[in-house]
């Protein structure tokens, strides 16, 4: 269903004011979070920087924004905005009338070809993940991380063209792109042949109506949500009204599996991180928590080694064996039934079948997040009234007692989410394996194994 055919929705999306209003408010909140981390109470659960970033924002992001709107958060994220405004020389205005195209100010260099993948995003996420126990609980460290992201984003906007930070470095953007493939919202062209014939490609190069795609994507070639930031510039610049915002089935992009190893590894990184976070942050093992928290200690180095080994070697290794098993089983079946298999490489099979881990990873993160959001959500009310721990009581809720909510539905809900995620993954594996004439059973077995592990950790 095309949402943008409704004039009201289209008008809101095309206008720069609503997006600007989001940017202005969220940028102020972002700066305030940094300020709170530096000047507010060092007690994490009473500090705006911790509570609103790691509980409120995270809950909205992983439980609502990503599953329903895909890269919807990227459309209003304040981190790249100051850099983008400096790049454009404007916070609201489209490019000047006498200037065609969207060539940015400053150095405006092309992002290096060798880095045109998400390996850097994988690395930046792993870096944040390794220090997460400290980042998530220490306001000052959260402030440093947020400020570093802001400065990096601004710096990259001044050196490289468009939103290179979002596209190639942002640790959050990487996984949002991965899971945006499962979202029921997409931006696509209505008719690709119109794009082919279109002169000047203003959606990519910009025009007086708007800027060329900040995400360095040509909308005419869009087949997946992964790299579309939903910034709506193409909706503004398209001279043929050929851009549509559509509601679609949840799994639409998952039937178009990627053969890229960097994207496949993103799925493993996210899946493995969710499992390890569940063990460290929600599990009963005090020594594990201490090891994760004592950055730089021998215990932390062991934790780091295990963390990286599980995510980068053990999980992909086990999956690789499953994929090879699929291939072997298929080979046996093909011999007996004279089926001709499509000629794909083992590496390509690995990456394509890793798509099945996307819904599972999203389910893992949803189940994990439900646990701490329902447990710690009451801190939001407390911090709303006294965001810096300075003794304020702005809305009269500063004395709200910590109170976990809806705990009675937590376990059933988590079970439902995990089982649902497994079923969704199994179905995805079945479809994608069929495409390349492989047996889905080993991959489904892998998904079942990690789902049982996650159920054990959470319940």
**Residue number, 117 or 385, with CB nearest to another protein:** 385
Residue 90 binds another protein (CB under 8 A): yes
Nearest approach, Cβ of 39 to another protein (angstroms)?
8
Should residue 6 be labelled a site residue for another protein when binding is judged by CB under 8 A?
A: no
Tell me the number of residues near another protein by CB under 8 A.
28
Residue closer to another protein, measured from CB, 85 or 218:
85
Angle between helices 261-277 and 357-376 in degrees, nearest 10: 30
Q: Which of 37, 72, 210, 389 binds another protein (CB under 8 A)?
A: 389
When asked if residue 293 is in the footprint of another protein (CB under 8 A), the reply is no
Q: Judged by CB under 8 A, does residue 20 bind another protein?
A: yes
Stretch of residues binding another protein (CB under 8 A), selected from 32-40, 267-275, 291-299, 300-308: 32-40
In sign, the C-alpha dihedral spanning 433, 273, 265, 59 is positive
Residue 25 sits in the site that holds another protein (CB under 8 A): yes
**By the rule CB under 8 A, 91 interacts with another protein:** yes
Site for another protein in 258-277 (CB under 8 A): none
Q: What angle do CA 28, 31, 35 make, to 5 degrees?
A: 130
Q: How far, rounded to the nearest angstrom, does the alpha carbon of residue 290 sit from its chain's CA centroid?
A: 28
Please list the alpha-helical segments (H only) found in 40-170. 48-50, 58-59, 72-76, 81-88, 119-130, 132-135, 139-159, 164
Tokens of 42: 């060092």
Which CB, 28 or 459, lies closer to another protein?
A: 28
Instruction: Say whether residue 52 binds another protein (CB under 8 A).
Output: no
Question: Is residue 43 a contact point for another protein (CB under 8 A)?
Answer: yes
Q: How far is the CB of 76 from another protein (least distance, A)?
A: 14
Query: Minimal CA–CA distance to 129: which of 166, 171, 177, 182?
Result: 171
CB atoms near residue 355 (< 10 Å): 26
Q: Which stretch binds another protein (CB under 8 A): 63-71, 88-96, 146-154, 424-432?
A: 88-96
- What lies within 8 Å, CB to CB, of 17 at 6+ separation is 92
Q: Are 443 and 326 in contact, with CB atoms under 8 Å apart?
A: yes
Give min distance, CB of 128 to another protein, in A: 24
Contact 104, 120 (CB under 8 A): no
Is 84 among the residues that bind another protein (CB under 8 A)? no
In sequence order, the β-bridge partners of residue 186 are 246
- The residues that touch another protein, with contacts defined as CB under 8 A, are 20, 23-25, 27-29, 31-32, 35, 39, 41-43, 45-47, 90-93, 386, 388-392, 398
């Amino acid at each position: 269903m095309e949402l943008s055919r409704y004039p009201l929705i289209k008008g809101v999306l095309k206008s720069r004011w609503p997006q600007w209003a989001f940017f202005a408010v969220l940028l102020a909140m972002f700066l305030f979070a940094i300020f709170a981390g530096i000047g507010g109470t060092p007690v994490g659960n009473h500090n705006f920087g911790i509570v609103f970033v790691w509980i409120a924002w995270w809950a909205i992001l992983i439980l609502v924004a990503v599953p329903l709107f895909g890269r919807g958060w990227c459309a209003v994220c304040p981190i790249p905005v100051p850099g983008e405004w400096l790049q454009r020389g404007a916070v609201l205005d489209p490019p000047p009338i006498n200037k065609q195209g969207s060539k940015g100010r400053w150095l405006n260099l092309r992002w290096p070809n060798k880095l045109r993948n998400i390996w850097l995003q994988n690395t930046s996420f792993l870096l944040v993940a390794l220090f997460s126990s400290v980042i998530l609980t220490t306001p000052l460290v959260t402030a440093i991380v947020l400020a570093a992201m802001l400065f990096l984003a601004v710096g990259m906007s001044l050196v490289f063209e468009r939103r290179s930070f979002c596209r190639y470095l942002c640790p959050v953007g990487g996984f949002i792109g991965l899971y945006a493939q499962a979202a029921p919202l997409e931006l696509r062209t209505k008719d690709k042949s119109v794009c082919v014939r279109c002169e000047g490609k203003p959606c990519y190069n910009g025009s007086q109506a708007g800027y060329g795609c900040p995400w360095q994507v040509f909308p005419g070639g869009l087949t997946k949500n992964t790299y579309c930031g939903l910034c709506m510039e193409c909706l503004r610049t398209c001279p043929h009204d050929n851009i549509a915002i559509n509601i679609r089935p949840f799994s639409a992009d998952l039937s178009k599996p990627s053969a890229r190893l960097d994207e496949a590894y993103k799925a493993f990184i996210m899946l493995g991180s969710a499992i390890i976070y569940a063990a460290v942050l929600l599990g009963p093992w005090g020594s594990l928590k201490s090891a994760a928290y004592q950055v730089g200690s021998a215990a932390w180095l062991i934790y780091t080694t295990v963390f990286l080994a599980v995510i980068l070697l053990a999980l992909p290794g086990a999956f690789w064996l499953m994929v090879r098993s699929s291939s072997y089983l298929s080979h046996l079946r093909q011999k007996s039934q004279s089926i001709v298999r499509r000629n794909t490489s083992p590496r390509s099979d690995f990456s394509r079948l890793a798509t099945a881990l996307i819904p599972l990873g999203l389910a893992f993160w949803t189940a994990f997040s439900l646990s701490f959001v329902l447990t710690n959500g009451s801190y939001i009310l407390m911090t709303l009234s006294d965001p810096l721990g300075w003794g304020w009581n702005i809305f009269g809720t500063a004395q709200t007692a910590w109170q976990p909510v809806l705990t009675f539905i937590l376990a059933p809900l988590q079970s439902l989410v995990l089982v649902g995620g497994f079923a969704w993954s199994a179905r995805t594996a079945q479809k994608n394996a069929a495409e390349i004439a492989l047996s889905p059973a080993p991959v489904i077995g892998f998904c079942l194994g990690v789902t049982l592990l996650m159920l054990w950790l959470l319940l």
